[in-house]
């Protein structure tokens, strides 16, 4: 069974932010599951590989929920639709950021934390790293704003493991281009996605014990062989 979840306190100023009611310090550590997040830019193969990871974890008879952001609850899914819909009105940075964290607050308090507190594993398709990458890297939102909201919404809780599927932006956009209608984010240009990728890579190098960087430009079989090793090392 998994070790107790690690909590990253490096960016948390406890004196300035009220500690979240959802703090996982109340978790019965002997039962604790792990909070795993899958991330990456456009066309990296998240959807393809999420199911693969889910199957590995379920094969170990671990109690798991699979969820996604933005979304994961009825209200958060409604906010997702608002966020992704292409629109003529320009969505200002703060509105996008706050909507993203509004969806996260609902999802986090009503689904993620109860699951972790009951000892379940949580596999989440994107989480706050996506905000650092898309709103921070892509839109240029100041990191301190994101940190403030992260601390407000999540208290001291951070994912135990973040798996980043990484691929050259050009390859990713080519793969994603095979899909139909583009959402509001998918309509962004190449330099936006270059900045998103940079932000992911920067975060991955700062905390190598929590981040697992996978070269997703490889053929799917090789990507999944690396994912299998990664998940095995997480399960222990």
Q: Which one of the spans 40-48, 59-67, 155-163, 225-233 is the region binding ligand Z5A (CB under 6 A)? A: 40-48
Cβ count near 97 (within 10 Å): 21
The nearer residue to ligand Z5A, 144 or 178, going by C-beta atoms, is: 178
- Kindly state the number of chain residues that form the binding site for ligand Z5A, as judged by CB under 6 A: 27
Sole binder of ligand Z5A in the list 54, 147, 186, 194 (CB under 6 A): 186
Report the C-alpha gap between 179 and 182 in whole angstroms.
Answer: 8
Contact between 136 and ligand Z5A by CB under 6 A: the answer reads: no
The nearer residue to ligand Z5A, 126 or 161, going by C-beta atoms, is: 126
The nearer residue to ligand Z5A, 42 or 160, going by C-beta atoms, is: 42
Which DSSP state fits 26?
G
Sole binder of ligand Z5A in the list 44, 102, 112, 153 (CB under 6 A): 44
Contact between 42 and ligand Z5A by CB under 6 A: the answer reads: yes
Read off the tokens for 97. 């950021």
Helix or strand or coil: residue 60?
coil
CB crowding 52-71: b at 16 or more within 10 Å, else e: ebbebbeeeebebbbbbbbb
Contact between 126 and ligand Z5A by CB under 6 A: the answer reads: yes
Sole binder of ligand Z5A in the list 34, 36, 46, 197 (CB under 6 A): 46
Which DSSP state fits 230?
H
Q: Which residues pair with 213 in a beta bridge?
A: 164
């Amino acid at each position: 069974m998994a070790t107790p979840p690690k909590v990253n306190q490096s960016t948390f100023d406890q004196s300035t932010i009220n500690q979240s009611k959802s703090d996982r310090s109340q978790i019965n550590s002997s039962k604790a599951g792990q909070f795993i997040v899958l991330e990456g830019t456009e066309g990296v193969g998240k959807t393809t590989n999420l199911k693969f990871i889910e199957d590995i974890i379920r094969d170990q008879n671990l109690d798991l929920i699979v969820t996604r952001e933005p979304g994961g609850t009825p209200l958060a899914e409604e906010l997702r639709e608002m966020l992704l819909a292409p629109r003529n009105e320009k969505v200002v940075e703060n509105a996008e950021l706050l909507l993203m964290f509004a969806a996260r607050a609902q999802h986090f308090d009503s689904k993620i934390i109860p699951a972790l507190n009951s000892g379940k594993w949580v596999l989440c398709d994107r989480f706050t790293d996506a905000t650092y990458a898309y709103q921070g890297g892509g839109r240029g939102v100041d990191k301190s704003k994101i940190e403030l909201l992260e601390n407000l919404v999540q208290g001291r809780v951070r994912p135990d493991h973040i798996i980043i599927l990484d691929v050259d932006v050009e390859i990713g956009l080519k793969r994603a281009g095979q899909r139909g209608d583009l959402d509001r984010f998918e309509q962004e240009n190449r330099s936006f996605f270059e900045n998103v990728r940079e932000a992911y890579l920067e975060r991955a190098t700062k905390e190598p014990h929590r981040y697992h960087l996978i070269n997703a430009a490889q053929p799917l079989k090789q990507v999944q062989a690396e994912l299998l090793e990664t998940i095995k090392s997480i399960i222990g």
